[in-house]
């Protein structure tokens, strides 16, 4: 059961003083270096980390003191990172689930936390239906309340460390189906930013021949993703079109797998030879990995791309835009890019937003503090 993303809100994280963003099928963020585009991307990754019960570890690895908003705060305002995601609920048109989590420094009296260990202060899951709000899960420091499938609230006695998330720890789908649906949705999100193309990259090696409907975050199963399209789905038309648009005259070779799956590229200037992944340039291999991520047999409910244009020739921006636009017909795509050319190629397919910094805080052009765009308010 996929729950589309309606809205994301982040405050107190790095350069994100306070942003609430209404999601669409394709959201493209473009701007100069250092304006905080990657912080938007990281915040989404942290929401998934909450579902994995790794939020505390992720923020600790960043350094909680370094991850906090460093600008001025209101008097007596707590030093916290707050994040929320609103997911459309199945059934009623205007219903949704909102998951919220706030993280701060541990209190001095807390024995079960280190001095700079991230501590979950507040964690809630709320059902929204029109003007109605129903709190399904509520955690405030050590106290936890949860409603079961019949709607009965009860205090939970659960072994929960201060750096752990309830979303990641409370695994009881029968009693808490809404929490389970939110967790499974976030776990299915895919973030593609660490797809390596160096000599030791998994992309350059054969992979186990097991049907692969979705590309792994590191791209390690790319050959199996291609083989699944070619030999199980038996439809490689979009993949062949993506290769032709990027490398005119080239043909992707996809032999039927035995114990392993592999692929190669036949180039028009060398028609008798198939170039193996180990021989391909970084840019060529990266483009093929993006094709695998965006054309896979089964796309995840949400895909986040961070600077996918890295290592690609500028002439590949239009073919890449075609891949992204096609994927957005099947799922939601969040794209952070430096490339004005790529953003321009996507302007007719989704929401292209300019990211800037104002007094040290990341801002999105036209976005109000209440999560609406000024053009929308005028309608």
Tens digits of pLDDT across the chain (379 residues): 679 999 999 999 999 999 999 999 999 999 999 999 999 999 999 999 999 999 999 999 999 999 999 888 888 888 999 999 999 998 777 899 999 999 999 876 655 678 789 999 999 999 999 888 999 999 997 889 998 778 888 898 888 999 999 999 988 888 899 999 999 999 999 999 888 999 999 999 999 999 999 999 999 999 999 999 999 999 999 999 999 999 999 999 999 999 999 999 999 999 999 999 999 999 999 999 999 999 999 999 999 999 999 999 999 999 999 999 999 999 999 999 999 999 999 999 999 999 999 989 999 999 988 888 876 544 4
Nearest in space to 334 (alpha carbons), one of 68, 31, 39, 44: 44
Give the pLDDT score at 293. Answer: 98
Residues 252 and 340 grouped into a single domain: yes
Angle at 272 between CA 271 and CA 275, to 5 degrees: 80
Q: H or E stretch including 56?
A: helix 55-62
DSSP class of residue 321? H
Give the pLDDT score at 379. Answer: 44
CA dihedral 36→41→47→51, nearest 10 degrees, is -150
**Calpha distance 146→5 (Å, rounded):** 23
Give the pLDDT score at 148. Answer: 77
Kindly list the strands in the beta sheet with 132-140, ordered across the sheet, starting from the edge strand earlier in the chain: 16-22, 5-13, 80-88, 95-104, 119-129, 132-140, 143-147, 153-155
Residues 183 and 215 grouped into a single domain: no
Residues 136 and 100 grouped into a single domain: yes
Give the pLDDT score at 130. Answer: 84
Q: In which residue are the tokens 């000599």 written?
A: 199
Is residue 302 one of the residues assigned to a domain?
Answer: yes
Residues 250 and 339 grouped into a single domain: yes
Residues 173 and 239 grouped into a single domain: no
Give the pLDDT score at 52. Answer: 97
SS3 state at 358: strand
Nearest in space to 27 (alpha carbons), one of 357, 377, 303: 303
Give the pLDDT score at 375. Answer: 67
Residues 206 and 222 grouped into a single domain: yes
Is residue 283 one of the residues assigned to a domain?
Answer: yes
Give the pLDDT score at 378. Answer: 47
Domain of 228: which CATH number?
3.40.50
Residues 64 and 212 grouped into a single domain: no
Residues 154 and 61 grouped into a single domain: yes
Is residue 30 one of the residues assigned to a domain?
Answer: no
Q: Number of structural domains, the chain?
A: 2
Q: CB–CB of 299/327 below 8 Å?
A: yes
Residues 20 and 151 grouped into a single domain: yes
C-alpha distances (whole Å) from 227 to each of 258, 299, 379 are 11, 16, 48
**Residue range(s) defining the domain that contains residue 66:** 5-25+35-188+353-378
Residues 101 and 247 grouped into a single domain: no
Residues 341 and 366 grouped into a single domain: no
Residues 204 and 136 grouped into a single domain: no
């Amino acid at each position: 059961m996929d729950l589309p993303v309606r809205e994301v809100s982040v405050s107190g994280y790095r350069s994100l003083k306070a942003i609430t963003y209404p999601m669409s099928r394709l959201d493209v963020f473009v701007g100069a270096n250092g304006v905080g585009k990657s912080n938007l991307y990281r915040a989404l990754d942290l929401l998934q980390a909450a579902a994995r019960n790794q939020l505390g570890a992720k923020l600790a690895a960043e350094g909680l003191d370094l991850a906090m908003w460093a600008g001025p705060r209101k008097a007596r305002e707590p030093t916290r990172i707050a994040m929320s995601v609103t997911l459309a609920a199945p059934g009623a048109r205007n219903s949704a689930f909102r998951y919220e989590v706030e993280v701060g420094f541990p209190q001095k009296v807390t024995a079960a936390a280190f001095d700079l260990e991230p501590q979950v202060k507040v964690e809630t899951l709320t059902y929204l239906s029109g003007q109605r709000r129903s709190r399904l899960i509520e955690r405030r420091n050590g106290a936890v309340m949860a409603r079961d499938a019949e709607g009965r609230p009860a205090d939970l006695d659960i072994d929960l460390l201060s750096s752990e998330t309830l979303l990641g720890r409370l695994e009881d789908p029968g009693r808490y189906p809404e929490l389970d649906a939110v967790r499974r949705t976030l776990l299915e999100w895919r973030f593609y930013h660490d797809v390596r193309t160096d000599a030791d990259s998994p992309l350059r090696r054969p992979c186990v021949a097991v049907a692969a409907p979705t590309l792994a975050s590191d791209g390690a199963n790319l050959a199996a993703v291609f083989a699944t399209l070619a030999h199980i789905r038996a439809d490689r038309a979009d993949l062949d079109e993506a290769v032709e648009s990027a490398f005119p005259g080239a043909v992707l070779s996809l032999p039927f797998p035995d114990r392993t799956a592999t692929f190669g590229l036949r180039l028009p200037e060398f028609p008798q030879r198939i170039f193996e992944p180990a021989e391909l340039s970084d840019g060529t291999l990266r483009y093929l990995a993006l094709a695998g991520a965006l054309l896979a047999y089964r796309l995840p409910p949400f895909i986040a791309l961070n600077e996918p244009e890295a290592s690609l020739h500028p002439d590949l921006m239009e073919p890449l835009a075609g891949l992204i636009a096609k994927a957005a017909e099947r799922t939601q795509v969040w794209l952070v890019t430096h490339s004005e050319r790529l953003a321009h190629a996507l302007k007719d397919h989704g929401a292209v937003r300019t990211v800037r910094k104002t007094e040290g805080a990341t801002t999105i052009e036209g976005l109000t503090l209440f999560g609406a765009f000024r053009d929308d308010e005028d309608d």
